[in-house]
């Protein structure tokens, strides 16, 4: 065959259009994400419910007719409704023996009172331990021969009352803390108070300082009586404690009692009626003196800084 007459073959490629593909995974992923969101939402809801509520919900789905109704419940009781589409109970879910609003209102204050009482008891116990430790430390100091308390060893009385730890510095026939009719401390009495200050500073309790005189009338009673004298002596004791490093803002009261609270009631002129009384106050007494609370003692006892009946373990004045 003549090459010039060879037939020409033309190839045409027919492209068949296919549908869009590759997006089905997105639908599956969206279903997965939705399921995970529902799962974690369920976990969160379960974490917010109490065991009783979870039991109630479980019972609701186990028995749509309301088998979880509390005692005394019947078909007409709250929580038992009509069965709706799919077996759903249209009634409200009720927990066993639910408290009424009135019962809750009565129970909550009782629980608060119980908690407050427990807290006060714990605080009182801790405070008692603190005052006991302070008393032991002071008594040990009294027993030391090189102590600053030595010069007034037999004139310092430490005991505990219902008001707090009481420290009394009393006069005797041979040694007085002040000259007659004066409010300036003798050096040995001042040394005792200076040494006492760091011990008292170590506890958080505040102080009440009371000055007492005997019943002998002041020589110039018209213008200056035992009331003024006892107050000035109490204030002298306060200044000595401050000089010894005791914080001034921890002194709650300074009082002059004159001869109104004798240590020896049957001997009103006895030297031991002349004394300085330092009370390391209990917290409830401190609050009562501030007027922020009431205590189960007479107001007179608190103001006088004395306690007719010493607390258990205390020593009578």
**293 and 149, same domain (yes or no):** yes
| DSSP three-state, residue 208 | strand
pLDDT per residue over 148-193, tens digit each? Answer: 888 788 899 999 999 999 999 999 988 999 999 999 999 999 999 9
**148 and 282, same domain (yes or no):** yes
Structure tokens at 148: 């600053």
Confidence check: pLDDT of 13 > 80: no
Q: What is the DSSP letter of 154?
A: G
Length of the chain, please? 317
Question: What whole-number distance in Å separates Cα of residue 85 and Cα of residue 89?
Answer: 9
Question: What whole-number distance in Å separates Cα of residue 219 and Cα of residue 199?
Answer: 37
Of 126, 149, 125, nearest to 137 (Cα)? 149
For residue 123, tell me if it sits in a domain. Answer: no
Q: What is the pLDDT of residue 73?
A: 44
Q: Are strands 275-281 and 164-170 parallel, antiparallel or unpaired?
A: antiparallel
* Cβ-based neighbour number of residue 156 at 10 Å: 17
Confidence check: pLDDT of 18 > 80: no
Q: Specify whether the backbone of 280 is left (phi greater than 0), alpha (psi in -120 to 50) or beta.
A: beta
Judge contact between 190 and 240, C-beta under 8 A.
Answer: yes
Question: What whole-number distance in Å separates Cα of residue 2 and Cα of residue 151?
Answer: 152
Question: What whole-number distance in Å separates Cα of residue 69 and Cα of residue 60?
Answer: 10
**153 and 284, same domain (yes or no):** yes
Question: What whole-number distance in Å separates Cα of residue 86 and Cα of residue 57?
Answer: 16
Q: What is the pLDDT of residue 52?
A: 78
Judge contact between 149 and 142, C-beta under 8 A.
Answer: yes
pLDDT per residue over 111-151, tens digit each? Answer: 666 677 788 788 889 999 999 999 999 999 888 888 888 87
- Give the position of tokens 């009393």: 170
For residue 84, tell me if it sits in a domain. Answer: yes
Expressed as residue numbers, the domain containing 47 is 28-99
Question: What whole-number distance in Å separates Cα of residue 204 and Cα of residue 101?
Answer: 43
For residue 211, tell me if it sits in a domain. Answer: yes
**298 and 192, same domain (yes or no):** yes
Q: What are phi and psi of 167, to 5 degrees?
A: -120, 115
Per-residue pLDDT band at 206 (split at 50, 70, 90): very high
**91 and 230, same domain (yes or no):** no
**190 and 297, same domain (yes or no):** yes
Average pLDDT, the chain: 79
DSSP H helices in 49-166: 51-62, 101-143
**162 and 232, same domain (yes or no):** yes
Structurally, the chain folds into a number of domains equal to 2
For residue 161, tell me if it sits in a domain. Answer: yes
**68 and 213, same domain (yes or no):** no
State what percent of residues in the chain have pLDDT above 70.
Answer: 69
DSSP H helices in the chain: 24-48, 51-62, 101-143, 187-201, 226-243, 283-290, 299-304
Task: Indicate whether this model's pTM tops 0.75.
Answer: no
């Amino acid at each position: 065959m003549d090459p010039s007459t060879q037939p020409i073959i033309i190839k045409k490629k027919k492209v068949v259009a296919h549908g869009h593909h590759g997006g089905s995974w997105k639908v599956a992923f969206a279903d997965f994400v939705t399921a995970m969101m529902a799962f974690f939402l369920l976990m969160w809801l379960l974490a917010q419910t109490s065991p009783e509520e979870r039991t109630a919900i479980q019972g609701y789905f186990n028995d749509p007719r309301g088998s979880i109704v509390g005692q005394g419940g019947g078909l007409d009781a709250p929580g038992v409704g009509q069965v709706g589409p799919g077996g759903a109970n249209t009634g409200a879910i009720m927990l066993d023996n639910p408290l009424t609003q009135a019962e809750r209102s009565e129970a909550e204050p009782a629980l608060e009172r119980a908690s407050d009482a427990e807290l006060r008891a714990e605080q009182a116990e801790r405070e008692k331990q603190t005052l006991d430790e302070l008393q032991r430390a002071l008594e040990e100091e009294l027993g030391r021969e090189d102590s600053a308390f030595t010069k007034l060893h037999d004139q310092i009385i430490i005991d505990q009352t219902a008001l707090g730890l009481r420290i009394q510095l009393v006069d005797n026939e041979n040694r007085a803390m002040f000259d007659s009719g004066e409010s300036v401390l003798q050096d040995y009495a001042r040394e005792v108070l200076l040494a006492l200050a760091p011990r008292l500073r170590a506890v958080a309790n505040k102080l009440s300082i009371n000055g007492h005189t005997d019943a002998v009338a002041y020589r110039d009673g018209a213008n200056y009586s035992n009331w003024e004298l006892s107050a000035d002596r109490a204030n002298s004791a306060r200044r000595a404690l401050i000089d010894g490093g005791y914080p001034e803002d921890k002194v709650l009261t300074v009082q002059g009692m004159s001869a109104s609270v004798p240590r020896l009631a049957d001997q009103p002129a006895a030297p031991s009626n002349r004394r300085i009384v330092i009370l390391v106050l209990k917290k409830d007494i401190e609050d009562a003196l501030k007027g922020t609370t009431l205590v189960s003692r007479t107001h007179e006892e608190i103001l006088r800084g004395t306690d007719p009946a010493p607390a258990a373990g205390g020593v009578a004045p």
